[in-house]
Amino acid sequence: MGRMKLGVLISGRGSNLQALIHACSDNNDPAEIALVLSNRPDAKGLERAAAAGIATQVIDHKSFDDRDAFDSALSDALSAADVALVCLAGFMRLLQESFVERWHDRVINIHPSLLPAFRGLNVHERVIQSGVRITGCSVHMVRSSVDDGPIIIQAAVPVLPQDTAHDLAARVLKAEHKIYPEAVRLIAQGRIKLHSGRVDFVDSMELGALLINPPLGRN
């Protein structure tokens, strides 16, 4: 069986893209990146993709009259590259329902919180402000409402008393880089299925593969 073709959508730095590039650079990995798409011409992640010899394309949302036309251009580029799974990796545009329907159960996202808590922007500021002791990150299937959809993997990360949003973002990001390639691998190996609106696993797996909880002192 061939490797599952990924389309990675970015808007900026692309450190999660880098984690996916690293995982897919192993020829035994069940997935490969066919295309990196950015809505911003200056996204740093485009350089990372080019350095890895991966095809890139910029589809600038500003050159479209409406969101549907932008989404259609994204869809067409992904289809042309024969993409089977769309990975949002710091992609900061809202995708319309028609896109999510066209790619139903074939779009995943990484978000820097333990969903369904702290959807949206400025997550780490709000986490600190709220006083929760544990936060984390989630990879989930994308639905048309923001940061919503069946959860695939989560990692828990402590919130330390003196943390700034910057400190916390850095700690969470390390966990993001672990769980995103892992979630892609599970999908590419056909090891998950959707059942009653949640993600189930087709085989029995160690819980450690699904819930990553780095102990204090090792992060």
* Active site (annotated) includes residue 111: yes
Q: What is the CA radius of gyration of the chain?
A: 17
Write down the least CB distance from residue 1 to ligand GAR, Å.
29
Q: Which stretch binds ligand GAR (CB under 6 A): 7-15, 29-37, 154-162, 184-192?
A: 7-15
The amino acid occupying position 13 is R
Per rule CB under 6 A, is residue 39 in the interface with ligand GAR? no
Q: 182-212: string of b/e by CB count within 10 Å (b at 16+)?
A: bbbbbbbeeebeeeeeebeeeeeeeeeebeb
Distance CA 209, CA 219 (A): 18
Distance CA 95, CA 153 (A): 22
Per rule CB under 6 A, is residue 154 in the interface with ligand GAR? no
Q: 163-182 mask for ligand GAR (x: CB under 6 A)?
A: ----------x--x------
Instruction: Give 51's contacts (C-beta < 8 A, 6+ positions apart).
Output: none
Q: Which stretch binds ligand GAR (CB under 6 A): 13-21, 49-57, 60-68, 197-205?
A: 13-21
Whichever of 132 and 189 has its CB closer to ligand GAR, that residue is 132
- The contact set with ligand GAR (CB under 6 A) reads 12-16, 89-90, 110-112, 147, 173, 176
